[in-house]
Every structure is written in structure tokens, then in C-alpha cells.
């Protein structure tokens, strides 16, 4: 499943809503990857579609676009995932 599809599923968007929010979703995916890299995750990992990276990106998008009353839960999950990716020894094929 592509990253964008994973995000759309995580946000529980209908196809029509996903189409209307497509630009915002794409921007948040790019921003999540940039934030991962800025925090110390190697660029090749942050740019990959490794399952752990995709899950972190989906969490970031839920934090930014999800229900406001769940913001803190998603923020805590994002921080946890970001920290673990930074410490991770996962390898991605280039």
C-alpha cells in the first residue's frame, strides 16, 4: 500500500474527502519526512517506504489532520516513533 493510501486509511477519509484534501495530505507527508530527517533520522531511511517510516508518517498526518481532541495522543505517538527511528539500525535498499 502506498504511503498516501495508508494515510487516507488512517484518517478514515472517504474517496471524495481524500480527493479534496489531496494537496494537504501530500504536504503533510513531505513535512513528516523532512521532520524525521531534521530530527536525525538518516535521509535514506526518512525517504524510504519502510513500514516503520510509513507508520510514523501516518501518525504525523493524523496529528496534523485528525480529531483535535486526539492531538496529544497522536503527538506522543509521533514523538515516540520519531525517537525510535532516530535510534534504529534499520537498513533500506536503495
Q: Which SS3 state, helix, strand or coil, does residue 85 take?
A: helix
41-74 confidence digits (pLDDT tens): 999 999 999 999 999 999 999 999 999 999 999 9
Which grid coordinates belong to 79?
514523538
Q: What is the DSSP string of 46-77?
A: HTS--HHHHHHHHHHHHHHHS-GGGHHHHHHH
DSSP letter (8 states) at residue 25: H
Decide if 38 contacts 90 (C-beta within 8 A). Answer: no
Query: The pTM is what?
Result: 0.94
Give the whole-angstrom CA distance, residue 65 versus residue 71.
9
Mean pLDDT of all residues in 31-42: 97
Amino acid at each position: 500500500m502506498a504511503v498516501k493510501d495508508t494515510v487516507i486509511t488512517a484518517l478514515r477519509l472517504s474517496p471524495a474527502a481524500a480527493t479534496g484534501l489531496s494537496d494537504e495530505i501530500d504536504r503533510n507527508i513531505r513535512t513528516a519526512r523532512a521532520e524525521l530527517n531534521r530530527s536525525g533520522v538518516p535521509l535514506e531511511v526518512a525517504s524510504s517506504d519502510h513500514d516503520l517510516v510509513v507508520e510514523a508518517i501516518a501518525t504525523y498526518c493524523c496529528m496534523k489532520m485528525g480529531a483535535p481532541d486526539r492531538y496529544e495522543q497522536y503527538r506522543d505517538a509521533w514523538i515516540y516513533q520519531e525517537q525510535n527511528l532516530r535510534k534504529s539500525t534499520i537498513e533500506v535498499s536503495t
